[in-house]
């Protein structure tokens, strides 16, 4: 559970749709306060998208039945005739009738004309002529830009033609107009957002410049290994190690939270050939490659250590490298290979608590909560003093209670949180996760106290400020205070991508879309994996779509918060 998670464990991709919501989004609780759109135009009945079976085709009308009708009435009669053809799956005849309706309809009857063009788009959709669908739906929208049926139909056509960004724009417009009350279109938009994000990340990630994460992130990552043989100070007791060993310089820099030269020092040590520091230097370089998302280089180094003879690399070191390689394989979507690495680690030493801790985290983030719970419990049984695992187990139980909608389970998890944070008042992880759970329970004052306590203990960690900012949104709808807190977090750590994304999300809520897009761009420079880049692109594309809809299509939300 790294800083890449949002409050209460929401993954970043789960926020993608929330970016475009012009309401007070309770990000921390994953809730949306919906607003109703106003001023929608009542439409004439138009044709269904789904043709009916067994509907007879219209019979020929007597030639003089429309003589007494006005042009508008004649247009309606032609449309109704077309609807019957449509329901009878006779789309070409339906098109002729809708075209006749358009020719007959007075120009000032814009609502009727919009309906006729939309009906013609529906017929073209059934014929699989998607360029024509877009053309006809666009004509309908020129007459009525709030015509959700035309927007939805055009969105489907754009998707068929692989024009995902245009599809997203129309879906965003629909969501705004319907007040985000239609879950089907929310899911559709989510799917398109993920697809766009994945494509853009695939295109851009391979060319990104490796960036060393912030010291806070690196410390959190290293601290997640309770049995880290790489950083053991006992190596300094080996008298055979040269005083000018580059590996010892690397250890000194890590102790002082200086990470820029670690890879250089390790490479220098490796260049000296096999010796007492060789295996650890390879493992540490692989770790830094992992942290900077240089995946191929990381896997190469980690694998070298894993494959070493036991007299060159001890079991703890090999397990450490297996766990890191497993996490890289999960990020690459190779879960079966990651499971093989976990099993290899268990074969080497089934009593190593780190194996179960890291597998539990992966299970948790994959929403396999029962498996995560079992692994956390095994980790704690093997290492009772490892507080991280204890508080994460409590959090896992809390999320299970939420999903199960069990008040008793939730109460038990909260009691467990209270016990852990009371027994470990100086552990910021315990305080922060407890605060997040309290926030969701609506215990805002107590949550704030614990966030403040966590920040006091760990003043260089920006995440506590970000969480507090999100609390201000949920609790008091105080966007100004929230933004001040998140901006302070960025001042504290200019490499905190989570802070940039959160600030961007808040700026969207205030209607500052250009600023939000700039902030997402900042976050894109800092993400560490292709998956994270895809998620961040999804957030950015959601903001861009709302900007287009509000500025170019003239469809605006009722209000912006803050």
Q: Greatest CA span in the chain, whole angstroms?
A: 111
pLDDT at 180: 78
pLDDT at 46: 63
Each residue of 413-433: pLDDT tens digit? 999 999 999 999 999 999 999
Question: Among residues 462, 406, 397, which one has the least CA distance to residue 434?
Answer: 397
pLDDT averaged over the chain? Answer: 87
pLDDT at 142: 95
**Alpha-helical runs (H) found in 256-310:** 262-271, 278-291, 295-306
Specify the pTM.
0.82
pLDDT at 4: 41
pLDDT at 183: 85
Residue 236 burial (CB count, 10 A): 11
pLDDT at 52: 54
pLDDT at 15: 37
Each residue of 103-148: pLDDT tens digit? 999 999 999 999 999 999 999 999 999 999 999 999 999 999 999 9
Give φ, ψ of 323 to 5 degrees: -65, -40
Domains of the chain are 71-206 (1.25.40.10), 212-346 (1.25.40), 350-448 (1.25.40.10)
pLDDT at 50: 55
Residue ranges of the chain whose pLDDT lies below 50: 1-44, 54-55, 60, 62, 559-560
Question: Among residues 166, 100, 80, which one has the least CA distance to residue 153?
Answer: 166
Helix axes 407-423, 428-440, angle to 10 degrees: 150
Question: Of how many residues is the chain composed?
Answer: 562
**Alpha-helical runs (H) found in 65-180:** 71-87, 91-104, 110-126, 130-143, 148-160, 164-177
pLDDT at 24: 26
pLDDT at 151: 96
CB 150 within 8 A of CB 121: yes
pLDDT at 65: 59
Percent of the chain predicted with pLDDT > 90:
75
pLDDT at 39: 31
Which helix (H) or strand (E) covers residue 247, if one does?
helix 246-255
pLDDT at 8: 32
| Coil, strand or helix at 274 | coil
């Amino acid at each position: 559970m790294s800083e890449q998670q949002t409050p209460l464990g929401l993954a970043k991709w789960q926020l993608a749709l929330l970016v475009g919501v012009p309401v007070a989004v309770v990000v921390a609780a994953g809730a949306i306060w919906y607003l109703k759109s106003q001023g929608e135009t009542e439409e004439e009945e138009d044709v269904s998208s789904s043709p009916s079976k067994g509907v007879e085709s219209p019979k020929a009308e007597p030639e003089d039945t429309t003589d007494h009708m006005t042009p508008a009435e004649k247009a309606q009669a032609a449309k109704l005739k077309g609807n019957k053809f449509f329901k009878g799956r006779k789309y070409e005849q339906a098109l002729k009738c809708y075209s006749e309706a358009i020719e007959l309809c007075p120009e000032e009857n814009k609502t009727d004309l919009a309906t006729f063009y939309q009906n013609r788009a529906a017929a073209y959709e059934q014929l699989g002529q998607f360029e024509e669908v877009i053309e006809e739906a666009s004509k309908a929208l020129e007459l009525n830009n709030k015509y959700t049926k035309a927007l939805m139909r055009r969105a489907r056509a754009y998707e068929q033609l692989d024009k995902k960004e245009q599809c997203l724009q129309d879906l965003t417009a629909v969501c705004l107009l319907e007040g985000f009350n239609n879950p089907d279109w929310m899911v559709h938009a989510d799917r398109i957002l993920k697809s766009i994000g994945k494509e853009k990340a695939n295109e851009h990630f391979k060319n990104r410049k490796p960036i060393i994460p912030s010291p806070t992130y690196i410390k959190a990552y290293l601290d997640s290994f309770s049995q880290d043989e790489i950083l053991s100070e006992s190596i300094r007791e080996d008298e055979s190690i040269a005083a000018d060993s580059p590996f010892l310089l690397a250890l000194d820099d890590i102790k002082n939270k200086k990470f820029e030269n670690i890879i250089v020092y390790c490479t220098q040590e490796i260049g000296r050939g096999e010796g007492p520091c060789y295996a650890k230097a390879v493992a540490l370089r692989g770790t830094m490659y992992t942290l900077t998302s240089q995946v191929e280089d990381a896997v190469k180094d980690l694998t070298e250590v894993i494959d070493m003879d036991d007299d060159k690399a001890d079991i703890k070191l090999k397990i450490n490298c297996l766990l890191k390689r497993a996490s890289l394989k999960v990020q690459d979507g190779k879960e079966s290979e990651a499971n093989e690495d976990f099993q290899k680690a268990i074969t080497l030493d089934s009593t190593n608590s780190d194996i179960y801790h890291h597998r539990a985290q992966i299970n948790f983030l994959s929403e396999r909560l029962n498996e995560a719970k079992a692994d956390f419990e095994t980790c704690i049984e093997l290492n009772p003093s490892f507080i991280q695992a204890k508080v994460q187990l409590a959090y896992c139980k809390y999320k299970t209670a939420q999903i199960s909608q069990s008040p008793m389970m939730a109460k038990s998890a909260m009691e467990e949180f209270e016990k852990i944070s009371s027994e470990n008042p100086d552990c910021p992880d315990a305080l922060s996760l407890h605060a997040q759970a309290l926030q969701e329970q609506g215990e805002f004052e107590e949550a704030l106290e614990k966030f403040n306590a966590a920040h006091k203990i760990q003043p260089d960690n920006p995440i506590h400020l970000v969480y507090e900012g999100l609390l201000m949104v949920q609790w008091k709808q105080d966007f100004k205070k929230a933004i001040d807190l998140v901006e302070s977090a960025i001042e504290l750590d200019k490499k905190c991508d989570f802070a940039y994304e959160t600030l961007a999300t808040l700026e969207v809520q205030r209607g500052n879309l250009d600023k939000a897009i700039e902030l997402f761009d900042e976050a894109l420079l800092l993400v560490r994996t292709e998956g994270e880049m895809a998620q961040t692109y999804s957030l950015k594309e959601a903001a861009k779509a709302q900007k287009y809809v509000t500025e170019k299509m003239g469809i605006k939300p009722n209000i912006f918060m803050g």
